Structure 1
Amino acid sequence: MILSKIARFHKINKIITMIIDIGLILLGFYLSYLVKFNFDIPARNIEPFIEVLPIIAVFTLIFFDVYGLLSIRKNSQVETILSLVIALAMISLSTMAVTFIYRGFAFPRTIFFIAYAIQLILLTIWRLLLINIVRRIHGIKEILIIGEKENTTNIAKKVLTNRHWYTVKYLYYKNVDRDLYTYIDKVDAVMITSEVDYEKRVKIIERSQRKNKEVFIIPNLQDMFILNSKIEQFDDILTFKIDKMELSLEQNIIKRLLDIVISAIGLLITSPFMIIVPLIIKIDSKGPVLFKQKRITRNNKEFYIYKFRTMIDDAEKQTGPVFSDKEDPRITKVGKFLRSTRIDEIPQLLNVLKGDMSMVGPRPERPYFVQKFKDIDPDYSYRMNVKSGITGLAQILGKYASSFDEKLKFDLMYIRNYSVLLDIALILQTIKVVFMKDKSEGLVDTNLDEILEEIGLDIKSDLGITRIK
């Protein structure tokens, strides 16, 4: 009863938040009219705005959803502002396109620029205020992480690095017993790692639910297969039907058509970069402008991927195939900028147009690493059931430095949840990722003690338990 009331409260708050968001965007447009026409707005100019009010509201819901603004607890303050910058730009561009199509020339174009500035100020103040209010109500919840020691430690580092809504209180890496129940009672939420077996997981969930604790489960492969499974009934027997981990023929055809259209438009838009970037690369370092490397795509087919060169020529001549780290000396000065802005990926639009790649899909790996990952985890081969992509769920939700098994889960989740709308949403979200520095950084090794020292917390370890305070 209490939980249902809380859920209803959050739902009502979300609706109110959306109404205020739309109201502030419309207010921004109206205030821009007042500024533009010195508080004397001609009827012929305001009428086109009134006609597109419902369309602006729809665009707001769409782009706020795409950029994660419908959930207050998803983003930090900095990420919220970045999301607003991009979402408001998309709303303005879309509205401008609609008014152009419907010949709403009486809707002055300068209004969009004035409105954008006003909306960004209003929405930033409102959203930061809302985040602070929700954070005070929600508080920073304490988590108990259960699993193997190495895994719980790695997860703790990531949670503690982003302590916006949750922090880590205990790491529990001994057998599930009655002692564990004591620690479940002491925290607000429980996180279960993927290696905890089914029977133990059930016991932990049951105890946590009885005590009204939030539960987070890090999925294993079985969980990934069950995602979006269909309910099938045989007489009075209820079953979950698990489809193949691949796209249907119809989905592949639609996906290919979308790839052709978007890659052609993308090449047209980025054509200035195709002229300017090669000149800058030539000035900065010796070697070819384009970097060509063998990769693996759908059905283990080999192809050559194209990129603007970001490293010194013959970078792997001495080392062989290796991953790039955060301070890789092989990366050129121009290369660092090209990587951080993802401009080096632009030539891959040619790969998409040719049919080697898709706009969205698992990132293509080199044959050496594909075989290496398959040897570690045979389930890695499932990601080759779809065409590789320029961007994907692993690039949006993960990071460049994420481990291969973490990226694999995102890739499998993408295959399981594929839709045209998902592809479009991921392409739009890639614009935001370009501006997020931590998404493009290479591998960096930081231990738990260093993170705790930085945020002013201490650690104490006993037999099978680590306390953080």
Structure 2
Amino acid sequence: MSRGRFIALSVVLDAILVNAGIVTAFVLRFGGELPRFNFGAYLGLWPLITLLYLASAYIYGLYEPERIEGAWGIVRGAVQAVTLGTVLVAAVAFFAGPRFFSFSRLAIVIAWALDAALLTLWRLAVLRTTSIQWPEQRVLVVGTTPLACDLAREIDERRGWGYHVVGLVRRDDIEAEDSDCDVPVLGTVADVPALVAAERVTRVIVASPVALRELIEDMAIGNESDVRVEVIPDLYEILIGTVDSTIADIPLMALTHSSVPGWYRLVKRLGDVALSALLLVLLSPVLLIAGLAVLLTMGGPVFFSQERVGRDMHPFKVHKFRTMVRDAEAASGPVLATEDDPRITPVGRFLRRYRIDELPQLVNILVGQMSFVGPRPERAFFVERFEREIPGYRERFRVKPGVTGLAQVSGGYATTPERKLKFDLIYLYHQTLLMDVQIMAETIRVVLTGRGAR
């Protein structure tokens, strides 16, 4: 059984057994009968009761089996979850009014005992009779200090959950750290990228965060293997960041970030489709006037379509109103736009100033090639160049490109690629729906004022 199936089974069985325990408690309390008044209160609240118990089970780690160690951990977690669920149900029933606050006190006590027993027993039975396939986590620990050794031992004790320490690495060849670990020392910090590939490492934990900036940058934004990189933080790191997880009593701070949750991508995509379709209708007069302005002042073609690099380096055609003279790069070849670029026509400068030239990209959004918010798509010619010149540049292609982004509302039209990348990475690692809304709102302000689009 996979970990995902075990968690799904846990949720379903908990929902069934919690309610079975409550119904059985009523039967036991009232001698086989289900009194309409008392039992009716339960029937009116059972969906909410189920959710409260499931939330309590989540709080106490019953759906994160790695957090529960041994049979006693299961018992403790189940009892704590059922106790919290019972308290929450009692509070909800009390505030819901007399109709619902009519549970028999004895029935509540019996239900608490039955639910705690049921949630415990089925887990013990499954864990003792079924082999659960936990995702393998092959861990490389950077450092050989006592703290690194403690971490390695704690990880090794969790082998049953798929953890495996492949080894330790020293800071450098000259400064050897004392080590009394049973785990082999495989090399130095310089060997980490090669060890990650050779040992199929999925997780790097930096237990000696001294003079490791280059390693952190290389592993955090320079790799393409989705290796999770974490550091045991000192006080300074805790003050400027957040602790993401723990192993035993050792805090860990993630330096690489996993992809955003599925619900965020779904909500963002639904919003993109709905808003792009609406704007294409509402802004159709603006699109018509802009197209006519380009046609009358510059002649055809009205639209400028160009291949750009999108998410996961997939090419696609981006559409804009033409703002430059015809064959603008015939003599120079591919070049980036600059402030006061002589190739931009007067009408084109106006369209760029108020971002009207970007409106045809609503079609790109509607078909799923772009989003409203994300790093701006770039041409393959410049992508290849920037990949060679700018560390971590490829990282920005982990997300769908956008019509606007944090770099566009935070800097000028011709901001350097290095500066834009910093803003793109800030967005990539911290994107939320609230941030998307803020960037959209700031974009509207930029459009209305023309700020940053000279």
* Larger radius of gyration between Structure 1 and Structure 2: 2
TM-score by length of 1: 0.45
Q: Which has the higher contact order (CA 8 A, sep 6+)?
A: 1
TM-score by length of 2: 0.47
